[in-house]
Structure 1
Amino acid sequence: MTPNVGMVDKWLRIVVGALLIALAIFNVIGWWGYIGIIPLATGLFNFCPVYRLIGMNTRDKTGGGQP
């Protein structure tokens, strides 16, 4: 898996995913909030399969500021 998620994209995914999961845990938005697992996982792994399918890459050539 070649990383294809940049830093800003990564942190947005992690925050949105964690927020959706937290809202689902506290029963604010219902069970569908567990869909937040997907953006959380793609943010943590720096890889989005949909980006790969459509040929998109938000990570810059220097590695997105990550080692």
Structure 2
Amino acid sequence: MRLKEEMLRLLKEDIEFRYTVLGYLGLDEVIKAIRELQKQVAEHSKAIRSLQEQVAENTKAIRELQKQVAEH
């Protein structure tokens, strides 16, 4: 049990050890891929916000044009 307890302690407390174990398990590549996906999601979220602003502006312009057409 001592080895198991020591391994768990090291995984919990020693970040270098944790990443070494992840590397041996092949999970370091998974973590890198997840980080890249997080970055892409953030970029897409920014692009979506920009598009939402453009849609709001276009909607406002359309309403103004509809109002002008209705007045004439």
Provide TM-score, normalisation by structure 1.
Answer: 0.32
Between Structure 1 and Structure 2, whose CA radius of gyration is higher? 2
Provide TM-score, normalisation by structure 2.
Answer: 0.30
Greater relative CO, 1 or 2 (CA 8 Å, sep 6+)? 1
